[in-house]
Chains A and B, each alone.
Chain A
Amino acid sequence: MSSTAQAIHHEEHHQSFFERWFMSTNHKDIGTLYLLFSFLMLFVGGSFAMLIRAELFEPGMQLMQPYFFNELTSMHGLVMIFGVIMPSFVGLANWMIPMQIGAPDMALPRLNNLSFWILPFAFILLLSTFFMPGGAPAAGWTMYPPLVLQGGESIAFMIFAIHLMGISSILGSINIIATILNLRAPGLDLLKMPMFCWSWLITSFLVIAVMPVLAGAVTMMLFDRFFGTNFFNAGAGGDPVMYQHVFWFFGHPEVYIMILPAFGIISEIVPTFARKPLFGYKAMVYAIACIAFLSFIVWSHHMFTVGLPLGAEVFFMFSTMLIAVPTGVKIFNWVTTMWKGSLSFETPMLWAIGFIVLFSIGGFSGVMMALVPADFQYYGTYFIVAHFHYVLVGGALFSIIGAVYYWLPKWSGHMYSTFWSKLHFWSSVISVNVLFFPQQFLGFAGMPRRIPDYNVAFADWNMVSSIGGFWFGASQLILVGVVVHCVFFSKAKATSRVWEHAYGLEWTLPSPAPHHSFTVPPVIDDSQLAHGDVSH
Chain B
Amino acid sequence: MSQPDANVYYVPHKSRWPIIAVIGMFLFMAGAANWLNGHDLSGKIVLTLGALTIIGMMFGWFGNVIRESMKGTFNSQVDTSFRMGMMWFIISEIFFFAAFFGGLFYIRTFVVPWLGGIGDKGVITNAYIWQGFSATWPTNGPQAVGGSFIAGSPWGIPLLNTLLLLSSSITVTIAHHALRIGNRKRLIGFLGLTILLGLTFLCCQAYEYWESYVHLNMTLHSGIYGATFYILTGFHGLHVTLGTIMLIVMWLRCLRGHFNRENHFAFEAVSWYWHFVDVIWLCLFLFVYIL
Residues of A within 8 A of B (CB): 2-5, 7-8, 11, 15, 19, 22-25, 103-105, 107-111, 113-114, 117-118, 121, 124-125, 153, 156-157, 159-161, 163-164, 167, 170, 173-175, 177-179, 181-183, 208-213, 215-217, 219-220, 223-224, 226-231, 233-239, 241-242, 245-246, 249, 307, 309, 516, 518-521
Chain B residues closer than 8 Å to A219, beta-carbon distance: 231
Given contacts A223-B231, A239-B111, contact A520 B80 (CB under 8 A): no
Some 13 contacts from A to B, beta carbons below 8 A apart, are A2-B5, A23-B18, A121-B26, A156-B37, A182-B81, A209-B91, A213-B98, A215-B96, A216-B97, A229-B230, A230-B141, A234-B142, A237-B139
Interface string of B1-38 (1 = CB under 8 A from A): 11011011111111111110111011001101110110
Q: Are A230 and B84 in contact (CB under 8 A)?
A: no
Shortest beta-carbon distance from A215 to chain B in Å: 6
Taking CB as reference atom, which chain A residue is nearest B57?
A: A114
- Give the complex CA separation of A7 and B17 in angstroms: 21
**Contact assessment for A114 and B8 in the assembled complex, using a CB-CB cutoff below 8 Å:** no
B111 touches which of A11, A237, A521 (Cβ 8 Å): A237
Contact yes or no, A220 B231, CB < 8 A: yes
Q: Are B99 and A246 in contact (CB under 8 A)?
A: yes
The answer for the CA separation of A22 and B145 in the assembled complex, in Å, is 50
Given A4-B2, A118-B22, A521-B7, A178:B111 Cβ within 8 A: no
B198 on the A face (CB < 8 A): no
Assembly CA distance A307 to B176 (angstroms):
52
Bound form: Cα–Cα A226–B45 in Å: 19
* CB neighbours of B91 from chain A (8 A): 208-209
Contact yes or no, A230 B145, CB < 8 A: yes
A236 touches B140 (CB 8 A): yes
Known A-B contacts A107-B81, A208-B91, A234-B141; the reply to A25 vs B9 at CB < 8 A is: no
CA of A307 to CA of B4 in the docked complex: distance in angstroms?
61
What is the interface size of chain B, counting residues whose CB is below 8 A from a CB of the partner?
78
The answer to whether B14 touches A156 (Cβ under 8 A) is no
**Cross-chain contact of A245 among B16, B82, B100, B102 (Cβ < 8 A):** B102
A335–B160 alpha-carbon span in the complex (Å): 63
Other-chain residue from A177, A181, A233, A246 in contact with B141 (beta carbon distance below 8 A): A233
In the complex, the answer to whether A235 meets B1 with C-beta atoms within 8 Å is: no
Complex Cα distance A205/B92, Å?
9
Contacts of B240 in A (CB 8 A): none
A4 engages B221 (CB within 8 Å): no
Point out the residues of chain B lying under 8 angstroms from A117, CB to CB. 18-19, 22
A117-B19, A118-B25 known; A2+B103 contact, CB < 8 A: no
